[in-house]
Amino acid sequence: MRAEGGYVCVLFRQQREEKQLEASLESLHARVAHLKGSLQSFILKLENEHDRLAWPSVLDNFALLSGQLNTINKVLKNEKTPSYRSQVIIPLLLSPDRDEELVKLTEQRVPVFSHEIVPDHLRTKPDPEVEEQEKHLSAEAARIGPEVAQKQIQTLNKLCSNLLEKLNNPRDDRDSESSALRQNKPSFNPADTNALVAAVGFGKGLSKCRPPGSVPPGHPGQPTMSTGPTLQQVTIAGTTGHQAGMGGQVAQQQPGQPGKMPSSIKTNIKSASMHPYNR
């Protein structure tokens, strides 16, 4: 009875593991199909819409692919997912004839399941080309002496450490570099600053020529805007040509001082009511 009970327990455990394996394979197959569809869509865009493809759209596609890959990794690392490495795949039937079901499942990539194809598809080692490259690298590494190899290792470790420091502290490096640039490199030209101050303060370097047609203020011929007779104009108009008859004395306006009232103007009070052309 104990042997039968143990056999039943083992059989039940195997069935449970098989069910878990099938469920995990179905879930993994669905997620890989989604990843494959995203890759195909992205490749199609790159081939047919590369001339009008915007960079944000490319970043969105990369983000989608990255998220799907992370999801697959989480599924593989889940505790409920059985270990695929302990599973053994054995080919039950090999045939050199074309298998339509296999063509459909592999999307026309594997037409037959023969002795030539099985070693490549079911191998647990890297591809032959990769194995050859590994052998070549191993042979080159064997020819290098221990001292040279140690120096190369130290140099590589130093480069990696510097790169990690720059990646970990990018803001500090940028701030220090910008401050160093500000301290070492002036943001202005002293010669241009001195020339500008001399031109504004002392007129140094400015041209003395005036454009044609311009008349400096105070010279004859300067156009003036008048909105009505001023006091000076009225006084001069009332006294010009009639100084002797009116008894008023008007001092001539000093030249070189336009717009100023004469300081020695003497007029008769009666002249304000007299018209200059009164007969």
Residue 274's pLDDT band (cuts 50, 70, 90): low
Tokens for 242?
A: 């009639």
Q: At what angle do helices 55-77 and 2-48 cross, to 10 degrees?
A: 170
pLDDT, tens only, 94-113: 888 998 998 888 888 888 98
Q: Contacts by 207-213 with C-beta closer than 8 Å and gap 24+? A: none
Distance CA 24, CA 18 (A): 10
Q: Exposure string (b/e) for 211-226, b if CB count within 10 Å is 16 or more?
A: eeeeeeeeeeeeeeee
> If you average pLDDT over each of 18-27, 123-132, 150-159, 220-229, which comes out highest?
150-159
The dihedrals phi and psi of 186, each to the nearest 5 degrees, come to: -70, 150
Q: What is the rounded distance in angstroms from the CA atom of residue 260 to the CA atom of residue 232? A: 9
Distance in angstroms (rounded) separating the CA atoms of residues 39 and 146: 45
How far is the C-alpha of 71 from the C-alpha of 117, rounded, in Å?
A: 31
How many other CB atoms sit within 10 Å of the CB of residue 113? Answer: 20
Query: How do residues 148-188 score in pLDDT, each as one tens digit?
Result: 889 999 999 999 999 888 877 766 666 777 776 666 666 67
Q: What is the pTM of this model?
A: 0.42
How far apart (Å, rounded) are the C-alpha atoms in residues 39 and 61?
9
Sign of dihedral through CA atoms 105, 111, 113, 115? Answer: negative
More confident: 278 or 117: 117
CB–CB of 34/68 below 8 Å? Answer: yes
